[in-house]
Structure 1
Amino acid sequence: MSGGGGLVRVAFLLPLVVGVLVPQSFAGGGGGRRWFGGRGEGQRAEAQAAKDAAAAAFYELDTAQRGMRITIETITAVDGSPEARRAVEEFAALGRRVDEVSHVYISAVDAHDLDREELDSGTAQRARGELTRAREELERVKGELDRFEAGLAPLLGRAETQLARLAPAVERARQALRGAGGALESVREKGLRADDLAARLAALGPELTRLNEGAGRHGVAETLQRADRVLRDAEAVRTEAERLPERAAEIDKRLVSLRTRTQALATRAEAVEPVLSELRRRYSAACWQDLQHVPEQAAGAVRQAEERLAEAGAARAEQRWPDATALLSTVRALLDTTGEAVAAAGDRLRRLDAVAKDPTAETDRARFAVRDAQRLAMEGRTRPDPRHARPLDEAVARIDRAVAGLEGRHPDYWHFLGELEAVRAEAARVVAAIREERGGHAH
């Protein structure tokens, strides 16, 4: 029972219960107890039976309370929710009721010595009544305890699920740490230091210590979270360690590839100046002035790329993998941007040459795009929607202005190309708007 005194008394009472249940010989002889016959002996037997029944009820209640205490401890070890806290409070209240009815039972047992030879029938009758009432109270509280236990089933189920996860989760974390350590040793044997990974693995050491200290010290929920975190971090270290040789090979490959690209870009950049000279000679300044700084910018970008490549090579030699990767990404971005600028000069000359030779091809492309949009705008209508007709009419006028701008001694072919490209884009925008509206109406 919840009170210490009650348990001590039980230790003395249970042997009495057992003794009563053992068949005894009533034949005469030395030391045998003398029983009185008649009605008195019947009442003594009834009182003794009531005492035995009360003792059995007391034992059942005590067993149930002990089992329920284990259940509550299981729940509270895992669950800190308000529902779990209420269960603890309710169990404490039940414990107080258990103490009360146990005290009544023990007092009734202490008050009556049913083995007394001079026990009279009245006393036996009173003893039977008190013990019967004590038994009924014990059984009533036992019923309350049973109902309380039934209500705890969901909480207990969740707690047992958590506890069942605990040992496997901790073991998986330990195995993950061993696996990460083995992967690190393997890459070191190949000459790769992996210092950053080793530091990350070492940082998990205190977490392993806490896992080994167990849930009894740190709690089930916290231990499960720690095990999951250690597993995740150790698996990340192992994965990166196993991939390290491949990563080193990739960096070596990228170093070679980007050095080749840098050299190729330097060669291409040298060809920009002759292209610019041709543009200056044959076309107005508006057609090329935005490109005149490309040779200087390309040369600077090539120098910068070569410097970053040298730094990346040093980082690779020192096995500073993140630094090497970042530097190589910088080089690639430089080469991409500069390569586009270098290509733009040659592309500009080709496009200008083509339009200077035959402007009508570009004009026809733009007029076709506008006419296609106009046909779609008129589809199923007697007159177009002003929201569509207005920009298309303006596009037609814009084409005419662009064509007229080519008349003169030094036409700006680059402006002409830009205007027609804008016209095509506007026609495509109107087409997309019409289709979106009609698609929405269909739904």
Structure 2
Amino acid sequence: MTATARRNRGPLRDLLTLTALPLLAGPALVAAFAGGGTRRWFGGRSEGQRAEAQAAKDAAAAAFYELDTAQRDMRISIETITAVDDTPPARRAVADFEALGRRIDDVSNRYIQAIDAHDLDRDDLDASTASRARAELTAAKDELVRVKQELDRFGTGLGPLLGKAETQLARIAPAVERARQALLAATGALDAVRQTGLRADELAARLAALSPELTRLNEGAGRHGAPQTLERAERVAREAEAIRAEAQRLPEQAAEIDHRLVSLRTRAEALTTRAGQVDPVLSELRRRFAAACWQDLQRVPEQAAENVRQAGARLREAQAARDAQRWADATALLATARALLNTTDESVSAAGSRLQRLNAVQKDPQQEIDRTRFAIRDAQRLAMAGRSTPDPRHARPLDDSVARLDRAIAGLEGRHPDYWHFLTETEAVRQTVSRVVGQIRDERGGTA
């Protein structure tokens, strides 16, 4: 029989002996005095030694039981640590516990050998044998107590590792439950949206993919490891919550796509009408202004028609995707159609805006000149505030802006002035001035 098996048997047998002795003492004594006892009594010294040996045996059994119980409890602590921790300190604790286990086996074997070597219930037990048994059993007990103390000190050192492990394990059950509840909520949301006639096939596939993960969660941290189980539970909860949220928003998304389809079709029709009005605008620009004022707009009608045609094709594809409930495709196609219509809107608007601005500057260029000069003078005053001479970094671009404005004004002279060049130049001058003003204010902490 192995030491561990004998150790497991020993405490129970000894405990039964300890429990039975008080109950049997009375009848035994009565029988002895009545002449019907089974043991011969040899005198007070032998019986005193027997009693001392039995007491030593009982003490050793108690020490053995305490050590065995402590070792079992410590094994649970070690298993708790190894379930969540694979760091060097944790591996070192496991190795130390295994070494302690070998030491415990050694002292347990010696205890069992001492128990087996002496039958304290023999009728012919003499005093010297009882004394030797008491000494060996006492020595075995002392060894058991010393190893138990070593085990206690080892357990005290495990405190930080065990606390960390227990904290992490305590997080697992709530995390797994949250994952289960999230999956249940996602399933309910998916069922509800399907009842409205929406298939939600993509969401259903994503939910089905989480099923193996739920199986692993149900198998527990003991099989898959606590850190992996915790990470899996948190990930499943996040993904299930995302599915639930998307499922709940699906009817709204379908309605939004339907609305955008109608809106963009209406806008495409309106742009088709507006694009047809660009040719008369271009005709007037050609008739009244120099070629430089309208050449970049020549292809606007053609480009507008092409963009509207492409937008219409994307809208038809988006409708097909919506009918097939391919929501991501429908959304992407609608975004493309919208971008095409935005480009068309900008180019068509640019033609009308160009004519309007050219008409205004042809009628009164002085308004544009005054607006630009005011911006330059305002920047010059700011550059000189608190200074006797301006900073060259500010003065130079402002002086260049004055010269650039003068050249733009001079370009208006002649039979066919390039009003568009004049407008772009004055706008560029104002942008330069604005940058200088921003630089000054930044350098002065925004107080200028």
Query: Contact conserved, 1:166 with 1:224, CA < 8 A, in 2?
Result: yes
Cα deviation, residue 19, structure 1: 4.2
State the identity %.
71
- The letter for the 1-side match of 2:235 is R
Cα deviation, residue 394, structure 1: 1.1
CA distance in 2, matches of 1:265, 1:317: 26
Query: Contact conserved, 1:17 with 1:55, CA < 8 A, in 2?
Result: no
Equivalent residue number for residue 428 of structure 1? 434
Please say if 1:317 is aligned against 2:318: no
Give the counterpart of 1:172 among 169, 178, 186: 178
CA distance in 2, matches of 1:268, 1:59: 98
CA distance in 2, matches of 1:366, 1:4: 102
For structure 1, which runs of at least 5 residues remain unmatched after alignment? Answer: none
Query: Contact conserved, 1:315 with 1:323, CA < 8 A, in 2?
Result: yes
- The letter for the 1-side match of 2:89 is E
Equivalent residue number for residue 162 of structure 1? 168
Q: Which moved more, 1:268-277 or 1:144-153?
A: 144-153
Equivalent residue number for residue 210 of structure 1? 216
Name the SS of the counterpart of 2:417 in structure 1: coil
Give the counterpart of 1:144 among 131, 134, 150: 150
- The letter for the 2-side match of 1:46 is E
Please say if 1:409 is aligned against 2:415: yes
Q: TM-score, normalised on structure 1? A: 0.92
Give the counterpart of 2:94 among 79, 88, 92: 88
Query: Contact conserved, 1:20 with 1:52, CA < 8 A, in 2?
Result: no
Cα deviation, residue 335, structure 1: 0.8
Give the counterpart of 1:286 among 286, 292, 302: 292
CA distance in 1, matches of 2:54, 2:190: 76
CA distance in 2, matches of 1:19, 1:330: 92
Cα deviation, residue 39, structure 1: 4.3
Query: Contact conserved, 1:97 with 1:141, CA < 8 A, in 2?
Result: yes
Cα deviation, residue 396, structure 1: 1.1
Give the counterpart of 1:254 among 257, 260, 280: 260
- The letter for the 1-side match of 2:259 is K
Cα deviation, residue 268, structure 1: 1.0
Name the SS of the counterpart of 2:444 in structure 1: helix
CA distance in 2, matches of 1:324, 1:41: 100
Please say if 1:132 is aligned against 2:138: yes
CA distance in 2, matches of 1:122, 1:2: 28
Give the counterpart of 1:186 among 189, 192, 211: 192
Equivalent residue number for residue 333 of structure 1? 339
Cα deviation, residue 360, structure 1: 1.7
Equivalent residue number for residue 8 of structure 2? 7
* Number of residue-to-residue matches in the alignment: 442
CA distance in 2, matches of 1:139, 1:416: 104
Query: Contact conserved, 1:2 with 1:96, CA < 8 A, in 2?
Result: no
Equivalent residue number for residue 16 of structure 1? 17
Name the SS of the counterpart of 1:113 in structure 2: coil
Equivalent residue number for residue 405 of structure 2? 399
Q: 1:191 to 1:125 in 2, by over 3 A?
A: same
Q: 1:252 to 1:395 in 2, by over 3 A?
A: same
Equivalent residue number for residue 111 of structure 1? 117
CA distance in 1, matches of 2:208, 2:49: 79
Name the SS of the counterpart of 1:3 in structure 2: helix
Query: Contact conserved, 1:251 with 1:325, CA < 8 A, in 2?
Result: yes
Query: Contact conserved, 1:2 with 1:95, CA < 8 A, in 2?
Result: no
1:43-122 mapped onto 2 (5 Å cutoff): 43-122=49-128
Please say if 1:245 is aligned against 2:251: yes
Name the SS of the counterpart of 1:425 in structure 2: helix
CA distance in 1, matches of 2:219, 2:124: 63
Q: 1:76 to 1:237 in 2, by over 3 A?
A: same
The root-mean-square deviation of aligned C-alpha atoms, in Å, is 2.4
Give the counterpart of 1:363 among 358, 366, 369: 369
Cα deviation, residue 379, structure 1: 1.6
